[in-house]
Structure 1
């Protein structure tokens, strides 16, 4: 498990799936803005659910986000499009509505960077998000990501073409904060 003093990234548990499905996937507007694939109705517990517990893969690392010390499920985080030859990956997060606006996104992105650079030995991490997603852009830039470009009207999102931005961070630009820890999350830290 990877954690800071506020949040932990852990493997997805079966009990996480219905909560993530209901609060993140079934919110059509938010999901449509967070994923480049079109929203489709998926029954709870279906193997096609993006939150279904799956075996580890080389091209993605999916985590559940929990708060500390309570262990309450706060959302999901992932590295996707992991390219082991070029040592690159994309990162993404989605927090449940009740956990947004609490400063947890910074902690989650920090842990994903730590995982990508320190654990996986990647060279570059990238954030691809809608240009209107100002909270994610602010979080990424505060952590050292560089705004590399705007892809004009490249994303079809809930009824309109929208601009996307690309932000990148190289391993040599990453400064890991001292509060990233590995191993069991202990409330006394």
Structure 2
């Protein structure tokens, strides 16, 4: 498990899937705001669920997010679109409604940065999010991500086009905050906020 100051990122367990499916996917508005694909119902137990892990897929590394204090499942995180030639990837995550506003989002981004830059040796991480997702923007910026541009009317969300913001972070610009526990194998970093993948 990779540990931050509040949450841990671990392998997805089979029992996580129905919880993530019900809390993140089956919330139509949340799904529409977090994903670039249209929402559709998924039968419980279906292998079509986005939360089912394909261990053979090398360009997509999903994690379950758990509280360090007690191990309660609080969300999902992913490094996706991993490009080993250009040494880049995208960051995404979604927190259960009960876990938002507790500082977990910024901590998850910090752990994903550590995984991307230190464990995987990547050079660039990128986040795309809706322009009105202040929690995602705040969590990204607290971890050093820089706004690189806006994609006007790029996302179709619940009957309207919304702008997206593109944020990037390079390995040499990443400055982990103080407060991490080196014995956990994670560079420092955490703060406050929640976010969902876009």
What's the TM-score once normalised by structure 1's chain length? 0.94
User: Does structure 1 residue 147 correspond to structure 2 residue 147?
Assistant: yes
| SS of 1:115 mapped into structure 2 | helix
Structure 1: unaligned runs, 5 residues or longer: 184-189
- 3-state SS in 1 of match to 2:149: strand
How far did 1:55 drift?
A: 1.1
Match of 2:180 in 1: 179
Displacement of 1:5 in angstroms is 3.0
Give the match's secondary structure for 1:69: coil
Moved more, 53-62 or 84-93: 53-62
TM-aligned CA deviation for residue 57 of structure 1: 2.1
| Corresponding residue for residue 68 of structure 1 | 68
Distance 2:54 2:15 in 1: 14
Please list, as runs of the form range in 1=range in 2, the aligned pairs for 1:94-133 lying within 5 A after superposition: 94-133=94-133
**Structure 1 residue 43 displacement after superposition:** 0.8
1:138 paired residue number: 138
Cα distance in 1, alignment partners of residues 56 and 113 from structure 2: 19
Paired positions, count: 183
**1:4 deviation in Å?**
1.8
Q: Deviations over 1:150-169 (max 9, x none)?
A: 00001111111110000000
Using the TM superposition, give the Cα deviation of residue 182 of structure 1 relative to its aligned residue in structure 2, in angstroms. 3.1
SS in structure 2 opposite 1:168?
A: strand
After TM superposition, list the pairs within 5 Å mapping 1:7-86 onto structure 2.
7-86=7-86
Give unpaired runs (5+ residues) of structure 2: 187-198
Alignment of 1:146-165 (within 5 A): 146-165=146-165
Instruction: Please give the secondary structure, in 2, of the residue aligned with 1:111.
Output: helix
Q: Shift in Å at residue 130 of structure 1? A: 0.5
For residues 104 and 153 of structure 1, what CA distance do their matches in structure 2 show?
A: 29
Q: Distance in 2 between matches of 1:170 and 1:23?
A: 32
Runs in 1 of length 4+ with deviation above 3 angstroms?
A: none
Q: Contact (CA 8 Å) 1:16, 1:73: kept in 2 or not?
A: yes
Separation in 2, partners of 1:65, 1:93: 9
Match in the other structure for 1:186: none
What's the CA shift for 1:64? 0.1
Q: Do the aligned residues in 2 keep the contact of 1:125 with 1:169 (CA within 8 Å)?
A: yes
Q: Distance in 2 between matches of 1:59 and 1:34?
A: 19
Q: What SS is found at the alignment partner of 1:112?
A: helix
Query: For the structure 1 residues 104 and 56, does the alpha-carbon distance in structure 2 shift closer, same or farther, using more than 3 Å as the test?
Result: farther
